[in-house]
Amino acid sequence: MNAWARSDARLEQSRADPGAAGCHCRQFDIATGSVRAVEALVRWSRPGQGLVEPLNFIAVAEECGLILPIGRWVMATACADAMRWQGAGQAICVAVNLSAVRFRDPDLAGSVAKALAHSGLSAGLLEIEFTESAAGTIASLKALRASGIQLAMDDFGTGYSSLSYLKRRPLTMIKIDRSFILGLPDDHKSCATVNAILAMTKSLGLKVKAEGVERLGQAMLLRDMGCDQLQGYYFSKPVPAAEIPELLTRSWSWPEIPHVLYQDEAD
């Protein structure tokens, strides 16, 4: 039995209970200087092995169909978490990753509406992240957007998105892929690419979030380039939902150093 088949069998055993666990990554809002959103990131809680990272099971779960109950669990849990934080006076948006497989459901918007209604969360506080692999989903996206849900295109720049692809979809946000942020602030090609993405998406009226921000120099450059939100280990690694309220109470401000100083010495 190869590794994939073994994972498949183990996932199959957990069909009754996806055994999923939720983590959240903070997203820092530049205009307000505060955390306005978190991204829900699933882990697989496997007895004896602790939390398994999604890259080690999402593909198999998509193949064997388990991504559907896992995805529904993540959505329900994320909405319930956000509703609880709102009840405690911290209304922040929660971003949920949706697999391309879920976009095959013609009633995707109805199923998301049920999750929102069940939790009581308002649609404006839910952001759905999807990648280009969720192709041919304009009708689903329009139905989701019509209900007030925010729509973010994930891993932007890694696929073949054309301007017409962006123009025809009712997006609210673009997430620049981590691979472009990695080379900032020193690599000129990375800087030029990020600048071009920002100019293009801004001209379409979209907000821009950068992911994979690990250093202050990257954060400062992205701020000065006009990025709206930042996410990455510089702000926090993914943490369990229970730790989010405490993290939200911590304020953060830009260090007092010249804007031109982006290099590592500033970190």
Among 5, 138, 233, 261, binds ligand C2E (CB under 6 A): 233
Among 11, 21, 37, 42, binds ligand C2E (CB under 6 A): 42
**How many CB atoms sit inside 10 A of residue 65's CB?**
13
d(CA 129, CA 96): 6
Of the two residues 87 and 187, which places its CB atom closer to ligand C2E in the complex? 187
Q: At what angle do helices 108-119 and 67-87 cross, to 10 degrees?
A: 40
Q: How far is the CB of 231 from ligand C2E (least distance, A)?
A: 6
- Provide the residue type at 214 as one letter: E
Q: How far is the CB of 163 from Ca ion (least distance, A)?
A: 21
Contact status, residue 86 vs residue 116, Cβ threshold 8 Å: no
Place of tokens 């150093």: 257
Q: How far is the CB of 212 from ligand C2E (least distance, A)?
A: 4
Residues 82-101 that bind ligand C2E (CB under 6 A): 97, 99
Among 35, 58, 141, 153, binds ligand C2E (CB under 6 A): 58
Binding mask 125-144 for ligand C2E (x = CB under 6 A): ----x---------------
Contact status, residue 209 vs residue 227, Cβ threshold 8 Å: yes
8 interacts with, out of Ca ion, ligand C2E, none, CB within 5 to 8 A per kind:
none
Contact status: 108 vs ligand C2E (CB under 6 A): no
Binding mask 154-183 for Ca ion (x = CB under 5 A): xx----------------------------
Which span (103-111, 202-210, 220-228, 232-240) binds ligand C2E, by CB under 6 A?
232-240
Contact status: 217 vs ligand C2E (CB under 6 A): no
**Contacting positions for ligand C2E (CB under 6 A):** 25, 41-42, 53-55, 58, 71, 74, 97, 99, 129, 154-155, 211-214, 231-233, 238
**Contacting positions for Ca ion (CB under 5 A):** 97, 129, 154-155
